[in-house]
Amino acid sequence: MTSTKSALSALLTTDFDEIDRAIASLHSHRDQWVETSIPQRLGYLQACLDQTLDIAETWATAGCEAKGIDPKSNLAGEEWIAGPIATVRNIRLLMTTLQANGQLPPPKISRRPDGQVVAEILPANSIDRMLYLGYRGQVWLKSETPPTQGQIYREPTAGKVSLILGAGNVSSIVAIDVLSKLFSENQIVIVKMNPVNAYIGEYLGQAFAPLIQAGFLHIVYGGVDVGEYLCQHAQIETIHITGSHRTHDAIVWGATASEQQERKAANRPRIDKPISSELGCVTPIIVVPGKWSKSDLTFQARQVASTIANNASFNCLSGQILVTGSGWPQQAEFLAAVRRELAAIPPRQAYYPGAQDRYQAFLDQYPQSEPLGTRTPEIVPWTIIPDVPPVAGEYALNEEAFCGILAQVSIESDSAPDFLTKVVDFVNDRVWGTLSCTVLIDAQTQKQYHQEFDTAIANLKYGAIGVNIWSGMIFYFGSTTWGAYPGNTPADIGSGSGFVHNSYLFDHPQKSVVYAPFRIFPTPAWFANHKNLLGMAKQLLKLEANPTWKNLPLVVWAALRG
């Protein structure tokens, strides 16, 4: 059931006259933003950070109420992390980069044997090393491009007005998109809030009030008609979309399938403005066969189940395809453990529009589906679909569920090296989307087949790859890049085009890879049954705003109680 506040906010609409005035004002301030000095920008960022801290609790509480979460429960910590905490972290990281004049040296730069440059960006300092024990984060740069950073601060360009069509699921997405446009791309912004979470506009307006008051940001509301008006507006010069590839194609190529087909054939888009986008993915979780203990099986089953349960599975990075090898002796035991762990997670409110229809479409395709709970008008139960064929065109491999579906796929293989080769080809060629994926591999197998594993990571065509860590954390880290693997075209947009986050301001990123220990300790924040998530989140907010040795022990202590 949708909350009253969420339902009312969805009805908000900004009239076209006000939109025209807002765009005209932004247009008149665009060159002023380009001329804004780094010290002035740092002042804006500090003011926005302070404002975000002031409203963090009310922001997170609003998200909880809209999604049917008790704001005092442990689960409420999820909304703290996905909203104000992620925003504060991104603000602080941008401040660190600007203090280095937009060209912050990464901790390490290396070159792979094939010549590709890789920047090691995590851990960035000693506090990172304590907070993220055993983690390694990398940004891989496009081959045959210079490893440069911060082009907008080396070679400022003319000011532009950018339209952001906001995401409706995770409240920090639109906030970080705003930060990326302003501070990474030198463009001032008009945001159209998504009707699903238009209530967040109030908090975004408070958090970014310094930028709004200076004339560099404006927030508007409305549905498809408002979005269409904004996209076509002559003074909107660039567009950024978070949504689905269908939304992108409707904007760029036309409202109907026939119009889209005709326009694509003639290469005659409705809009020829630069458009960046993040458009979802059928997200695979790749399980490399190895010899796992019972506790290993349980831990990784908890991780898999948690990637589905987070935000009620209304994430473009929710696990949807679980890929295992047929020759793995522990395959059946692991799949049973996943089923058990997922069944133990309480159901979540299906707050995102269309969830029931999308869910029913999967049930219609797969009569073998196994709901792990009771379906109601408010709940889509976590559901496993066993024995999905790994063949081209398969429905579950090509349709993003955006609800609690986990399709199990088995690849014929007789060893870890054989599996690594085959699974990369499978997910690259037969699974829709290139946004992110997760790879689970134990330390012994990774060491024994180091070369084969390294080759697999290099060949995976995903913009974000989490090794033993949910790829959602790559979204959170902020120093890592977030966006589809490069190469999509407007006519075949896939998971989208361009990158956000990227606090190091790499000019030519290809993808980000984060490696974590096979058994992460203490209990990761994204685990659905974390026992102290809210308490930890409140301490984490303080640390992200001010990463000092004084604040670190409070986070560690709270995390140990999880």
Kindly state the average pLDDT of the residues 347-374.
97
Last residue of a domain, one of 242, 263, 298: 242
Asked if pLDDT for residue 2 goes beyond 90, the answer is: no
Q: Within a domain: residue 252?
A: no
β 136-141/117-122 pair status: antiparallel
Position 478, amino acid: G
Q: Within a domain: residue 134?
A: no
**192 and 48 belong to one structural domain:** yes
Last residue of a domain, one of 472, 502, 517: 472
Q: What percent of the chain has pLDDT over 70?
A: 98
**403 and 462 belong to one structural domain:** yes
Sorting pLDDT into bands at 50, 70 and 90, what band is 157? confident
Host H or E run for residue 39: helix 38-66
Asked if pLDDT for residue 541 goes beyond 50, the answer is: yes
Mean pLDDT of the chain: 96
Sorting pLDDT into bands at 50, 70 and 90, what band is 9? low
Q: What percent of the chain has pLDDT over 90?
A: 96
Q: Within a domain: residue 140?
A: no
Kindly state the average pLDDT of the residues 68-73.
97
Cβ within 8 Å of residue 133, ≥6 positions away: 517, 521
Q: Within a domain: residue 263?
A: no
Quote the pLDDT of residue 4.
Answer: 58
Q: Within a domain: residue 198?
A: yes
Kindly state the average pLDDT of the residues 166-188.
97
Q: How many domains does the chain have?
A: 3
Kindly state the average pLDDT of the residues 387-416.
97
Asked if pLDDT for residue 213 goes beyond 50, the answer is: yes
**165 and 293 belong to one structural domain:** no
* Domain containing residue 161: CATH number: 3.40.605.10
Q: Within a domain: residue 130?
A: no
Cβ within 8 Å of residue 256, ≥6 positions away: none
Structure tokens at 205: 């307006």
Kindly state the average pLDDT of the residues 432-442.
98
pLDDT, tens digit (0-9, with 9 covering 90-100), for 442-496: 999 999 999 999 999 999 999 999 999 999 999 999 999 999 999 999 999 999 9
**237 and 168 belong to one structural domain:** yes
Q: Within a domain: residue 400?
A: yes
Sorting pLDDT into bands at 50, 70 and 90, what band is 1? very low
Q: Among candidates 503, 514, 506, 465, which has minimal Cα distance to 142?
A: 506
**219 and 361 belong to one structural domain:** no
Asked if pLDDT for residue 131 goes beyond 80, the answer is: yes
Rounded CA-CA distance 348/274 in Å is 38
Domain span including residue 558: 536-562
pLDDT, tens digit (0-9, with 9 covering 90-100), for 275-330: 999 999 999 999 999 999 999 999 999 999 999 999 999 999 999 999 999 999 99
**463 and 546 belong to one structural domain:** no
* Domain containing residue 419: CATH number: 3.40.309.10
> DSSP readout, 88-154?
HHHHHHHHHHHHTTT-PPPSEEEE-TTS-EEEEEES-SHHHHHHTTT-EEEEEEPTTS---B-HHHH
Kindly state the average pLDDT of the residues 99-128.
96
Quote the pLDDT of residue 532.
Answer: 97
Quote the pLDDT of residue 387.
Answer: 97
**Stated pTM of the model:** 0.97
**320 and 446 belong to one structural domain:** yes
Quote the pLDDT of residue 144.
Answer: 86
**232 and 301 belong to one structural domain:** no
Last residue of a domain, one of 426, 447, 472: 472
Contact 63, 203 (CB under 8 A): no
**360 and 427 belong to one structural domain:** yes
Q: Within a domain: residue 547?
A: yes
**297 and 224 belong to one structural domain:** no
